[in-house]
Amino acid sequence: MKSHYRVVVIGGGVVGASVLYHLAKFGWSDVCLIERKVLTAGSSWHAAGGFHALNADPNIAALQAYTIDLLSEIERESGQSVGMHMTGGLTLAGTPERWEWLQSAYRVFQTIGIEDCRLVTPEEAVALNPVMSGDGILGGLWADREGYIDTTGTVQAYAGAAKKHGATVVENNRVLELNQTADGWQVVTEKGTVTCEHVVNAAGLWAKQVGRMAGVELPVSPLNHHYLITDSIPEVAALDHELPMTVDLEGFTYMRQDQKGMLVGIYEIDHDHWMQDGAPWEYGFELQQEDLGRIENELMLGFQRYPCLNDVGIKTWVNGAFTFSPDGNPLVGPVPGKRGYWAACAVMAGFLQGGGVGKSLAEWMIHGEPEADVYGMDVARYGKYAENRRYIRETTGQFYSRRFVMTYPNEQLPAGRPLKMAPAHDAMTAAGCKWGVSWDLEVPLYFAPDGFEETPTLKRSNAFDIVAEECRVLREGVGLLDITGFSRFEVSGPRAEAWLNRIMASRLPAPGRAKLAPMLSETGKLKGDLTVLNWGDGTYWIMGSYYLRTWHMPWFDDHMEDGVTVRDLGEEICGFAVVGPKSQAVVEKLTEQDISRLGFMGCGAFDIGLVSAKVARMSVTGEKGYEINCRYGDHIALRRMLLEAGTSEGIRECGFNAMLSTRLEKSFGIWSAEFTQGYTPGMTGMDRWIDWNKDFIGKEAALAERDGNGPAQVQVTLEIDAVDADASGYEPIWSGGERVGFVTSGGYGHTLGKSLAMALVNRDKAEVGTELSVHVVGVERAAKVIAPSPHDPQGKAMRS
C-alpha cells in the first residue's frame, strides 16, 4: 500500500470492486480498494447471485442491462470465471392488475431498448419452467438475459480486471478513521495512514459507520433476507435444460436452479431490520439463524407454486442481511457538503446493479457527471429529514415488505408520513384535502367529499370527476392552490446578478419581473427548469421543484463565487396561488396596492390582507394567476383571508392533480418527465429561453447542439385515442411498427376532454398531424401529434 492514491475505495464487495474496475478502466489507475477482511466478506458472499431485467425505474433498468452485458467482459478481462448461467427468466402475474402491469412493463422495456423479452401465456410459462404449477397464473414476461452467476467469482473478476488496469487491492486492513484535509482525505487504516483526493464509501453493511467517519448520516439500513437450497430434485435432475430464474410476484418468491436442486428466496411481508447502525466490525462470513415463523405464509405459497419442494430435503438455509435505502434504490454520487467523499452504497441488488453503479460513479468522478440520468440513485435526492432513524426504519421496512407487492401510480403509501406539513394542513384536511408526498412534505392532491377513498388503479381512478371539477374551477372561476411544495432560493450580494447570469442560460429578468430559466451542466445537459424572480431590491429568487432542494443546492455551492449568498428558503417561505379568470378580483379585495398593474410574469412585494407577501403573476396552469409567497407563520391566515375574499367569486380549493392536468393542456413540461439531466435544451424546447449573447455554464455544448445536426429526438404533444386509461411515462411510440419515441408524461386534459401526452419522438415524426400509436397500460392506441398548447395556444388567459 502506498501512502497516497488519487482514490481510496472502502469496501471489497461487488460494488466497491466494480467502482475500482471502472475507475481504473476509464483511466484513473492510481486507485486503491481497502477491504476490512477479504473480498466478498460483507453481504456479497451469501447473495443468491440472480440477475433480472425488471426495475420500476427505467433508468435503473437500463443500468441493470449494462451490468448483465458487462459480466462476460470482466470474465474475459480478468480470466476469472463469473460462473455465468444465462438461463433466461420468467416473471409471473397472478392477478388481472398484475398482468396489466406486466404488459405495461414489457412496453417500457421496449422503450429503453431491452428487446429480448416477450409476454408468455400461462401454458408457455409452465412449458418454460416445468417444475412449476401454473395455478392462478394469468401470464408472464420472459426475458432472455436473466439468470445467475457465482457471487465470489464475480467479485474476484471485477477486482482481477481492475488490477489488470493498474488498480491496487489491499485486504485485511480495516479503515478506522477518515479526516478531511485541504486537498482531500486522510484515511487511517490498521496498516497505516494513506492520503487521497477522493474517498468512496462502498462499505455495504458497514456504510452507516463509514458515513459517520466523515460526519455523514446516510439513509440506509440492513434487513435480513432468506433463501433456501434444496437437495437434488429428481424432476429437476431429469431436465435437459436448466430451469429459468422465476419470480412469482404474487407468491413472494424467486427461484433458480442450484445444481440439481432449487434455490428459493422469499420477500416476506413481516420484514426484519438488522443492526440499523451497521454490522459489528468483527462480523464476517456468518449468517443469522433462519426464522421460519416470519416467512411461513410466503413459504407455503412457494411450496404450492413448486410442488416438488414438498418431497425434498432442504440442504441449506441462508438468512443474511443486505442494505436498503428508503426507496430501495442505491445511494450513489458526491455527498453534499463533503468535497471528495462519494457514496456507492445501499445497493440492494449488487450483482444486478453493481456494474451500472460502478460505471456511473466512475464517470461522475472523472468527468463531473454520469452519462445517464441517474437521479433515481443520486445520494443527493434525500434531505436532512431522511437521516432520522424512524424514517429510515419505516421506509426501508415498507420497501422490503412491498418488494413483490404491486404499487399503483395513484397509491399513497404510509411510511415516514406525515412528516412536514404546511401550516394550513389541518384546515385543508378538514376541507377534504387528500394528500400526497413530495420529499418530506405533504402536498395536496385534490379535495374530496367526506368518506371518499381513491381506488388504487393503473387506469383512470374514481377521483377522475373530482379532478375534472377542480380543473373547471381553475379554468372558469378561481381556485386556491397550496404552493408550499415549490422550492425557493434567495440569491443576494453584490455579485448576485453576475453569478446568476453565469449559472442560468437565459437572460435575467428586469427588476419586478420573473423569467423562465434553464440551467445547464458543463456538457450542455439540463440541470434545472427554473424560474428566476428579480424583486428589484438587489435580491433574486430561484424557484423550482421542491424535491430537488438538496440536489440544486450543492450545484449552487459548487459554482459559488465571492460576493454571492444563496439561501434555501424552504423552511421559511410557503404560500398559496390564486388561479383562474376571477383571481384578480379576489386578490384586489385584499390589497390597497394596485395589483392590476402587475402584468404577466411581474413580481413584487404586496400586502395581502394582514400578510406581507411576495407576489408573482404566473401560473403553471396557463391561467391568470397570482403566486402569493408568505412566511410559514402567515400561511393559515393567508388561506383564511383568501377564502373569505373569494366567497362571492366562488373560490374553491384545488390540488396538484388538477394543476398537472391543466399544465399538460398547455404543453408545459415538468422536471423528471419532460426535463431531466439526461436531456438537452434542443430536445426539450428549452433552447428558446437561452440568451446566446452572453456567457453561461454549458454554452459551448449548447452551441454545438444548436449549430450541429440538431437533436435526434424532439418534444411534441400528442392526443391519444385512449379509452379508460392515460399514458403516464416511458410508453413506447410507434409508427408503422417502428419504435419512434416515448412518452415523457401523460394524463387527461379535463378542459379539452382529451387524453394527452408529451413525448420525445424522432424528428421526422414530429410534424403536427403525424399519425402514430402508443401503448397505454399495455394496449396499443392511436395517437396524433398536435400543435403545442392545445388549450389557449396564444396564452391569452395567462396574459389577460
Ligand X SMILES: Cc1cc2nc3c(=O)[nH]c(=O)nc-3n(C[C@H](O)[C@H](O)[C@H](O)COP(=O)(O)OP(=O)(O)OC[C@H]3O[C@@H](n4cnc5c(N)ncnc54)[C@H](O)[C@@H]3O)c2cc1C
12 near ligand X (CB under 6 A):
yes
15 near ligand X (CB under 6 A):
yes
Query: Site for ligand X (CB under 6 A): which residue of 24, 31, 61, 205?
Result: 205
Query: Site for ligand X (CB under 6 A): which residue of 32, 42, 515, 566?
Result: 42
320 near ligand X (CB under 6 A):
yes
Least distance from C-beta 83 to ligand X, angstroms? 13
Which residues, 17 to 36, sit near ligand X by CB under 6 A? Answer: 34-36
Question: With respect to ligand X, which residue has the nearer C-beta, 42 or 625?
Answer: 42
Q: How many residues make contact with ligand X (CB under 6 A)?
A: 41
Query: Site for ligand X (CB under 6 A): which residue of 5, 9, 49, 147?
Result: 49
CA dihedral 99→101→104→110, nearest 10 degrees, is -90
Least distance from C-beta 107 to ligand X, angstroms? 25
The grid coordinates listed for 300 are: 407455503
Q: How many CB atoms lie within 10 A of CB 449?
A: 7
Give how far the C-alpha of residue 779 lies from the chain's centroid of Cα atoms, to the nearest Å.
25
Least distance from C-beta 597 to ligand X, angstroms? 59
Q: Is 679 helix (H, G, I), strand (E, B) or coil?
A: coil
Question: With respect to ligand X, which residue has the nearer C-beta, 42 or 485?
Answer: 42
Query: Site for ligand X (CB under 6 A): which residue of 85, 107, 225, 552?
Result: 225
630 near ligand X (CB under 6 A):
no
Least distance from C-beta 305 to ligand X, angstroms? 18
14 near ligand X (CB under 6 A):
yes
Query: Site for ligand X (CB under 6 A): which residue of 84, 167, 218, 348?
Result: 348
267 near ligand X (CB under 6 A):
no
343 near ligand X (CB under 6 A):
no
| Binding range to ligand X, per CB under 6 A, among 68-76, 341-349, 563-571, 586-594 | 341-349
Question: With respect to ligand X, which residue has the nearer C-beta, 204 or 370?
Answer: 204
Least distance from C-beta 348 to ligand X, angstroms? 5
User: Which of 267, 302, 149, 280 lies closest to 209 in space, CA to CA?
Assistant: 280
| Binding range to ligand X, per CB under 6 A, among 23-31, 315-323, 518-526, 729-737 | 315-323
Q: What are phi and psi of 184, to 5 degrees?
A: 155, -130
Q: In 79-224, where does DSSP find H-type helix?
A: 96-111, 122-128, 151-164, 207-212
350 near ligand X (CB under 6 A):
yes
Question: With respect to ligand X, which residue has the nearer C-beta, 39 or 702?
Answer: 39
Least distance from C-beta 613 to ligand X, angstroms? 48
CB 323 within 8 A of CB 43: yes
CA dihedral 661→662→667→673, nearest 10 degrees, is -40
Query: Site for ligand X (CB under 6 A): which residue of 214, 308, 352, 686?
Result: 352
Q: How many CB atoms lie within 10 A of CB 640?
A: 13
3-state SS of the chain: helix, strand, coil percent to 5? 30, 30, 40
391 near ligand X (CB under 6 A):
no
Question: With respect to ligand X, which residue has the nearer C-beta, 400 or 439?
Answer: 400
Helix orientation angle between 350-367 and 151-164, rounded to the nearest 10 degrees: 20
87 near ligand X (CB under 6 A):
no
Least distance from C-beta 256 to ligand X, angstroms? 8
Q: What is the rounded distance in angstroms from the CA atom of residue 95 to the CA atom of residue 408? A: 14
318 near ligand X (CB under 6 A):
yes
Query: Site for ligand X (CB under 6 A): which residue of 141, 220, 349, 374?
Result: 349
CB 757 within 8 A of CB 781: no
Query: Site for ligand X (CB under 6 A): which residue of 25, 50, 491, 748?
Result: 50
**What one-character-per-residue DSSP string does 446-492 give?**
EE--TT--PPP-SS--TTHHHHHHHHHHHHHS-EEEE-TTEEEEEEE
| Binding range to ligand X, per CB under 6 A, among 317-325, 424-432, 469-477, 622-630 | 317-325
Least distance from C-beta 67 to ligand X, angstroms? 9
Q: How many CB atoms lie within 10 A of CB 427?
A: 16
Question: With respect to ligand X, which residue has the nearer C-beta, 351 or 489?
Answer: 351
43 near ligand X (CB under 6 A):
yes
Least distance from C-beta 356 to ligand X, angstroms? 11
505 near ligand X (CB under 6 A):
no
DSSP-derived secondary structure letter, 680: -
**Positive/negative CA dihedral, 41, 46, 50, 54:** negative
606 near ligand X (CB under 6 A):
no
Least distance from C-beta 292 to ligand X, angstroms? 15
Q: How many CB atoms lie within 10 A of CB 282?
A: 9
Least distance from C-beta 62 to ligand X, angstroms? 16
Least distance from C-beta 385 to ligand X, angstroms? 24
Question: With respect to ligand X, which residue has the nearer C-beta, 352 or 380?
Answer: 352
- List, in order, residues 6 or more apart from 647 with CB less than 8 Å away: none
Q: What is the rounded distance in angstroms from the CA atom of residue 719 to the CA atom of residue 748? A: 10
351 near ligand X (CB under 6 A):
yes
Burial 707-728 (b: 16+ CB within 10 A, else e): eeeebebbbbbbbbebeebbbb
333 near ligand X (CB under 6 A):
no
Cβ neighbourhood burial of 537 (10 Å; 0-12, 13-18, 19+):
exposed
Query: Site for ligand X (CB under 6 A): which residue of 8, 9, 10, 157?
Result: 10
The grid coordinates listed for 394 are: 419505516
Query: Site for ligand X (CB under 6 A): which residue of 7, 8, 9, 11?
Result: 11
Question: With respect to ligand X, which residue has the nearer C-beta, 306 or 322?
Answer: 322
CB 691 within 8 A of CB 508: no
- List, in order, residues 6 or more apart from 727 with CB less than 8 Å away: 718, 720, 743, 745, 746, 747, 755, 757, 774, 776
Query: Site for ligand X (CB under 6 A): which residue of 65, 159, 210, 478?
Result: 210
**What one-character-per-residue DSSP string does 23-35 give?**
HHHTT---EEEE-
CB 673 within 8 A of CB 702: no
Which residues, 145 to 204, sit near ligand X by CB under 6 A? Answer: 174-175, 202-204
User: Which of 388, 380, 726, 441 lies closest to 573 in space, CA to CA?
Assistant: 441
Question: With respect to ligand X, which residue has the nearer C-beta, 213 or 783?
Answer: 213
Least distance from C-beta 383 to ligand X, angstroms? 23
Least distance from C-beta 40 to ligand X, angstroms? 6
Least distance from C-beta 220 to ligand X, angstroms? 10
The Cα-based distances of 600 to 185, 316, 402, 669, 750 in angstroms read 51, 69, 46, 19, 24
User: Phi-psi category of 340—alpha, beta or left, where left has phi over 0 and alpha has psi -120 to 50?
Assistant: left
| Binding range to ligand X, per CB under 6 A, among 37-45, 89-97, 693-701, 757-765 | 37-45
| Binding range to ligand X, per CB under 6 A, among 113-121, 342-350, 552-560, 605-613 | 342-350
Least distance from C-beta 283 to ligand X, angstroms? 8
User: Which of 265, 237, 236 lies closest to 132 in space, CA to CA?
Assistant: 236
Question: With respect to ligand X, which residue has the nearer C-beta, 204 or 436?
Answer: 204
The residue whose grid cell reads 396524433 is 784
Contact residues for ligand X, defined by CB under 6 A: 10-16, 34-37, 41-44, 46-50, 174-175, 202-206, 210, 225, 227, 318, 320-322, 345, 347-352
